[in-house]
Amino acid sequence: QKEVEQNSGPLSVPEGAIASLNCTYSDRGSQSFFWYRQYSGKSPELIMFIYSNGDKEDGRFTAQLNKASQYVSLLIRDSQPSDSATYLCAVNEGDAGNMLTFGGGTRLMVKP
C-alpha cells in the first residue's frame, strides 16, 4: 500500500512567520512531488512541484525534497492570513496513468 503521510494540524503560525509543512511517503520509486493548496469548499490549486533532491524556490514558497529520507516539505515565508488553507502533498510513483497519491492534508492557520 503506497502511503503519503501529513500531520493533519492545524498548524498555527503568526502573520509574517515561516510555516513549515511536512510530508513523508512510502514508495522509494516515487518520481515527482506536488504541493496543492485547497481553500475550504474549493478545488486544489497547484503551488509547487519538485522532481529533484534539494530546494526549489518560487516567491515565498520553497519546496524541499530528500529522496533518501523519503521526505518532502513546503516552507512558506512571510505567512499571510490568506495562506490559511489545507495543504495537500501529492506523490506520483511514475506508474502508468500519472496517478497521484495524496496525503491527508495539513490545515494551516495564519493568525494576524
Partner 1 sequence: DTEVTQTPKHLVMGMTNKKSLKCEQHMGHRAMYWYKQKAKKPPELMFVYSYEKLSINESVPSRFSPECPNSSLLNLHLHALQPEDSALYLCASSQGLAPETQYFGPGTRLLVL
Among 105, 106, 108, 110, binds partner 1 (CB under 8 A): 105
Secondary structure class of 9 (helix, strand, coil): coil
Whether residue 103 contacts residue 26, with contact meaning beta carbons closer than 8 Å, is answered with no
20: enclosing H helix or E strand: strand 19-25
Read off φ and ψ for residue 83, nearest 5 degrees. -80, -10
Secondary structure class of 43 (helix, strand, coil): coil
Q: Which is nearer to partner 1, 41 or 112 (CB)?
A: 41
User: Residue 88, interface with partner 1 (CB under 8 A)?
Assistant: yes
**Per-residue binding letters, 55-84, with partner 1 (x by CB under 8 A):** ------------------------------
10-39: contacts with partner 1 (CB under 8 A): 31-32, 34, 36
What is the Cβ-side half-sphere exposure of residue 108, based on CA atoms within 13 angstroms?
28
Q: Using CB under 8 A as the criterion, which residues of the chain lie in contact with partner 1 when the complex forms? A: 31-32, 34, 36, 41-46, 49, 88, 92, 94, 96-100, 102-105
